[in-house]
């Protein structure tokens, strides 16, 4: 049986970032408890081991020497794997996840052959490569998962990885037929990307009518630079290609700015906003490096 250290190093060597979680252990009275010691821990075996990783997920790393230090000092720790580098569809049958997945596959076709792990609680973790140029955020029951019992672990999330010990007493394990050595993560199916890439509620920013007014009415001197910046930002934040954004904004400037800015000026503004957007994406771990 592989140790958690071996398992954590295995994930790191495949490009993952890991951190230690509380594990499950029998205490002196023989009770099977989360190592945080709370008899009624409601996240047993799944929450960060703060003693070693005080910032939890933010401490997740791919540095082998840190990983060695953690899991040598806490061989009982469970292994947390940061998601985003891979996206995990988390199927929880206790909340109807099996039925939800069956319904989605009936509608869109079977999921591709891909890496799968069995959670100790009877569920499944199904791994996918993230789509290029689209951020897949964490999406769980609390903020609107995909469907009942189906959560998405993406940017900003993590999963408990094999061979961690589940509160049920069983271990998380790679599915024998879907071990990452034989079946690497497949690209995420297009329908799943489409279902998840929608902007989430509350992130839309300004009122749409304000944008409509701006693009239809245009602006005069004194407001043109700001308007070009805002329009570029609007498009880039929605992952419109920078070249396409540039051309659209150039055309809008000629059609609606009174008088139009020079094309060179517009190019400069769009370039500057595009660089800022890139920094934003990198800073949030949206772009793998
Ligand atoms: Zn606990």
Shared-domain flag, residues 10 and 28: yes
State both tokens at 33: 């408890």
Distance 197 CA to ligand 1 centre (A): 33
Which of residues 198, 231, 260 is at a domain's end? 198
Distance 39 CA to ligand 1 centre (A): 8
Is residue 76 a contact partner of residue 27, using CB atoms and an 8 Å limit?
A: no
State the pLDDT at residue 201.
44
Distance 163 CA to ligand 1 centre (A): 18
State the pLDDT at residue 202.
41
CA dihedral 136, 137, 143, 144 (to 10 degrees): 10
Asked if the model's pLDDT at residue 209 lies above 90, the reply is no
CA dist 165 → 28, 190, 268 (Å): 18, 33, 55
Residue 152 to residue 158: CA distance in whole angstroms: 10
Q: Kindly state whether residue 104 falls inside one of the protein's structural domains.
A: yes
Asked if the model's pLDDT at residue 97 lies above 60, the reply is yes
Shared-domain flag, residues 222 and 279: yes
Q: Beta-carbon neighbour count of residue 266 at 10 Å? A: 23
Is residue 11 a contact partner of residue 62, using CB atoms and an 8 Å limit?
A: no
Shared-domain flag, residues 114 and 75: no
Could you list the residue range(s) of the whole structural domain that residue 167 is in? 83-198
Q: Kindly state whether residue 277 falls inside one of the protein's structural domains.
A: yes
Which of residues 198, 220, 247 is at a domain's end? 198
Shared-domain flag, residues 229 and 267: yes
Distance 247 CA to ligand 1 centre (A): 54
Shared-domain flag, residues 74 and 23: yes
Distance 46 CA to ligand 1 centre (A): 7
Distance 41 CA to ligand 1 centre (A): 5
State both tokens at 259: 């008088």
- Tokens 């720790």 belong to residue: 77
Q: Kindly state whether residue 173 falls inside one of the protein's structural domains.
A: yes
Q: Kindly state whether residue 288 falls inside one of the protein's structural domains.
A: no
Is residue 127 a contact partner of residue 87, using CB atoms and an 8 Å limit?
A: yes
Shared-domain flag, residues 136 and 231: no
Looking at the chain, the whole-number percentage of residues with pLDDT higher than 70 is: 91
Residue 172 to residue 161: CA distance in whole angstroms: 6
Distance 172 CA to ligand 1 centre (A): 17
Q: Residue 193's pLDDT band (boundaries 50, 70, 90)?
A: confident
Residue 255 to residue 181: CA distance in whole angstroms: 56
Q: Kindly state whether residue 289 falls inside one of the protein's structural domains.
A: no
Q: Kindly state whether residue 152 falls inside one of the protein's structural domains.
A: yes
State both tokens at 12: 């790191």
Shared-domain flag, residues 126 and 59: no
Asked if the model's pLDDT at residue 289 lies above 50, the reply is no
Distance 281 CA to ligand 1 centre (A): 33
Asked if the model's pLDDT at residue 1 lies above 70, the reply is no
Shared-domain flag, residues 77 and 123: no
Q: Beta-carbon neighbour count of residue 172 at 10 Å? A: 23
Shared-domain flag, residues 150 and 212: no
Distance 279 CA to ligand 1 centre (A): 36
Angle value at C-alpha 127, between 181 and 68, nearest 5 degrees: 60
Helix, strand counts (H, E) of the chain = 8, 13
Distance 89 CA to ligand 1 centre (A): 24
- Higher-pLDDT residue of 187 and 133 is 187
Distance 34 CA to ligand 1 centre (A): 5
Is residue 34 a contact partner of residue 76, using CB atoms and an 8 Å limit?
A: no
State the pLDDT at residue 153.
93
Q: Residue 198's pLDDT band (boundaries 50, 70, 90)?
A: low
Looking at the chain, the whole-number percentage of residues with pLDDT higher than 90 is: 64
DSSP, residue by residue, 125-142: EEEEEPPTT---B-B-GG
Q: Beta-carbon neighbour count of residue 192 at 10 Å? A: 20
Which of residues 59, 82, 105 is at a domain's end? 82
Shared-domain flag, residues 216 and 194: no
Query: How confident is the model over 272-286, as a mean pLDDT?
Result: 78
Q: Kindly state whether residue 203 falls inside one of the protein's structural domains.
A: no
pLDDT tens digits, one per residue of 133-172? 778 888 776 545 678 889 999 999 999 999 999 999 999 9
Residue 68 to residue 87: CA distance in whole angstroms: 25
Phi, psi of 225 (to 5 degrees): -60, -45
CA dihedral 265, 270, 276, 279 (to 10 degrees): -130
Is residue 203 a contact partner of residue 143, using CB atoms and an 8 Å limit?
A: no
Shared-domain flag, residues 154 and 130: yes
Q: Kindly state whether residue 242 falls inside one of the protein's structural domains.
A: yes
State how many domains the chain has.
3
Residues, Cβ < 5 Å to ion ligand 1: 22, 34, 36, 41
Distance 167 CA to ligand 1 centre (A): 10
Distance 115 CA to ligand 1 centre (A): 28
Distance 33 CA to ligand 1 centre (A): 8
pTM: 0.69
pLDDT tens digits, one per residue of 57-77? 999 999 999 999 999 999 999
Shared-domain flag, residues 139 and 236: no
């Amino acid at each position: 049986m592989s140790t958690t250290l071996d398992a954590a190093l295995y994930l790191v060597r495949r490009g993952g970032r890991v951190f230690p979680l509380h594990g499950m252990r029998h205490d002196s009275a023989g009770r099977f408890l989360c190592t945080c010691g709370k008899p009624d821990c409601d996240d047993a075996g799944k929450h960060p081991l703060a003693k070693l990783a005080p910032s939890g997920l933010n401490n997740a790393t791919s540095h082998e020497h840190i990983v060695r230090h953690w899991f040598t000092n806490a061989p009982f720790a469970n292994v947390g794997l940061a998601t985003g580098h891979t996206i995990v569809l988390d199927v929880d049958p206790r909340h109807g996840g099996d039925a939800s997945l069956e319904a989605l596959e009936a509608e869109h076709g079977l999921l591709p052959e891909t890496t799968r792990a069995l959670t100790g609680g009877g569920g499944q973790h199904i791994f996918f490569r993230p789509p290029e140029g689209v951020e897949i955020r964490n999406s769980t029951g609390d903020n609107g998962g995909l469907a009942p019992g189906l959560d998405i672990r993406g940017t900003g999330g993590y999963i408990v990885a094999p061979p961690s010990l589940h509160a049920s007493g069983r271990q998380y394990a790679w599915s024998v037929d879907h071990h990452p050595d034989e079946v690497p993560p497949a690209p995420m199916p297009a329908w799943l990307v489409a279902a998840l890439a929608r902007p989430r509620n509350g992130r839309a920013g300004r009122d749409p009518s304000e944008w409509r007014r701006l693009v239809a009415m245009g602006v005069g001197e004194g407001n043109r630079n700001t308007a070009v910046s805002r329009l570029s930002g609007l498009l880039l934040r929605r992952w419109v290609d920078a070249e396409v954004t540039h051309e659209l904004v150039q055309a809008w400037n000629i059609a609606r700015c009174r008088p139009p800015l020079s094309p060179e000026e517009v190019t400069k503004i769009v370039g500057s906003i595009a660089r800022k957007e890139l920094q934003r994406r990198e800073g949030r771990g949206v772009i793998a490096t």
